Amino acid sequence: MRHQKKTIKLGRTAEHRKALLSNQVCSLIEHQRIKTTLAKAKAVRPLAERMVTLGKNGSIHARRTALATLRQKNAVKKLFDDIAPRSAERNGGYTRIVKLGQRKSDSAPMAFIEWVDMAEVVEERPAEEKKAKRKEAEPKPQRTEPERAEPKKEEPAAKEEKPAVAPAPVEEAKPKKRRWFSRKSSDEK
């Protein structure tokens, strides 16, 4: 029976799990919000809240205890200077878990874990335009027609009097005939 064995194992050894959770808490301190699986978020929450409680204490012993757990000086400094004072009037519940749905690749349930008292609203960066997977073809030199540039300004008046003659249609390039595994395309039949 597993009575009173509350540790979430996460499929890792004790050392690996300890390192993972401390790194997650350090990332949470640095970025104010992290996206992770729901199981990891639930495992990170007690450790993060324990660290905030140490930060609220503020003693040298509390700082050394936090440093022994987190192993990153800058994270401990930010915890004691920024995050713990924001949560001074709160008696617990310093973090919030927001469920996001399932990850596309393996359907793992995903979640945000974030501080309840965030100083600034964390906004995600707008998605940049996706780059083409293939190299784009070199731009074809555009035809320069200086004669047409001037009539464009006078074109509305010319349209009222007499419609302009349409230029001759440019021949479209015929698609290449492709033979694929010796099958004839529909055009060649």
Asked whether residue 76 is assigned to any structural domain, the reply reads yes
In the predicted model, residues of the chain with pLDDT beneath 50 are none
Asked whether residue 121 is assigned to any structural domain, the reply reads no
CA distance 173 to 98: 55
Asked whether residue 142 is assigned to any structural domain, the reply reads no
The total domain count for the chain is 1
Amino acid 77: pLDDT = 97
Asked whether residue 151 is assigned to any structural domain, the reply reads no
Tell me the H-state helices in the chain: 14-31, 38-57, 60-70, 73-78, 84-86, 146-149, 151-161
Amino acid 82: pLDDT = 95
Amino acid 142: pLDDT = 73
Amino acid 163: pLDDT = 58
Amino acid 173: pLDDT = 73
Asked whether residue 187 is assigned to any structural domain, the reply reads no
Asked whether residue 110 is assigned to any structural domain, the reply reads yes
Residue found by looking up tokens 């994270």 in the block: 75
CATH number for the domain spanning 71: value is 3.90.1030.10
* Domain boundaries, position 42: 14-115
CA distance 17 to 47: 12
- In eight-state DSSP terms, residue 98 is E
Amino acid 118: pLDDT = 85
Contacts of 80 (CB under 8 A, 6+ apart): 55, 58, 63, 66
pLDDT in tens, 151-183: 555 555 555 555 566 666 677 777 766 666 665
Amino acid 145: pLDDT = 59
Amino acid 27: pLDDT = 97
Amino acid 90: pLDDT = 93
Asked whether residue 124 is assigned to any structural domain, the reply reads no
Asked whether residue 18 is assigned to any structural domain, the reply reads yes
